Amino acid sequence: DAGITQSPRHKVTETGTPVTLRCHQTENHRYMYWYRQDPGHGLRLIHYSYGVKDTDKGEVSDGYSVSRSKTEDFLLTLESATSSQTSVYFCAISDSSKSPLHFGNGTRLTVT
Amino acid sequence: AQSVTQPDIHITVSEGASLELRCNYSYGATPYLFWYVQSPGQGLQLLLKYFSGDTLVQGIKGFEAEFKRSQSSFNLRKPSVHWSDAAEYFCAVVRNQAGTALIFGKGTTLSVSS
């Protein structure tokens, strides 16, 4: 398996609190992605990065921000968590935009 | 903007029967196309991909997919389904352009009956 670690694996937080999810890779891949998975919606792209400090918005970026200060880490921050952000969050990596993605094991986030 | 449509939310197939999962994409040029599978509680695994060339591509686990430009489709097929194929299947597309990202369809859940 590709070296991707997501932390935490599970988190419960209260509405209005900030939350940061971390994705760490050991593959030195250029591209990193954050998706959320919800029943009936499949995987939806939140943000992605195509290099250090190079990021772009995805389909559902409102309420989320990202940072990538070094190749191996891609952080996803929920600035003020809402119940609608309860979801499973997947990080993925690839070495180019057309390469297959390698996925992390996911983070299950519950916002109460 | 590119988009992916999987018209079937849920399909049930008898074990041993053939399978076809539909995928349509919206994009002006030929994109790169993928099929992924997700078993319950698991992450996503790549089944196959299409970039260019032969429009019939072979993947893992006996799956194949055919790219049809005229129909903007990339349907996934398997001649004989096994009970272990029960999972959720996702079609995905990315533009042929650096700095872009993969967009997924909403998925099709496959159930296999005995």
Q: Which residue has the higher pLDDT, A70 or B3?
A: A70
Name the interface residues of B facing A (CB cutoff 8 Å): 6, 9, 32, 34, 36, 43-44, 46, 49, 51, 90, 94-107
Running DSSP on this structure, what letter comes out for residue A79?
A: S
List of residues 6+ apart from B49 with CB closer than 8 A? A100, B32, B33, B34, B35, B57, B59
Cβ–Cβ of B44/A90 closer than 8 Å?
yes
pLDDT at B99: 67
Which ranges of chain A have pLDDT less than 50? none
pLDDT at B37: 96
Q: How far apart are CA B29 and CA B85, in angstroms?
A: 32
Q: pLDDT band at B112, cuts 50/70/90? A: very high
Cβ–Cβ of B99/A105 closer than 8 Å?
no
Q: How far apart are CA B107 and CA A110, in angstroms?
A: 23
Q: pLDDT band at B7, cuts 50/70/90? A: very high
Residues in B touching A92 (Cβ below 8 Å): 102
Calculate the alpha carbon distances from B59 to B35, B64, B65 in Å. Answer: 9, 6, 8
Q: How far apart are CA B19 and CA B76, in angstroms?
A: 8
Q: Which residue has the higher pLDDT, A23 or B101?
A: A23
Residues in B touching A5 (Cβ below 8 Å): none
Q: Return the residue of A nearest to B2 by Cα.
A: A59
Q: Return the residue of A nearest to B88 by Cα.
A: A42
Cβ–Cβ of A41/B99 closer than 8 Å?
no
Nearest alpha carbon to residue B24 among B46, B2, B44: B2
Cβ–Cβ of A45/B32 closer than 8 Å?
no
Calculate the alpha carbon distances from B10 to A18, B22, B59, B108 in Å. Answer: 36, 11, 22, 5
Distance from CA of B67 to the nearest CA of A (A): 16
Other C-beta atoms lying within 10 Å of the C-beta of residue A80: 11
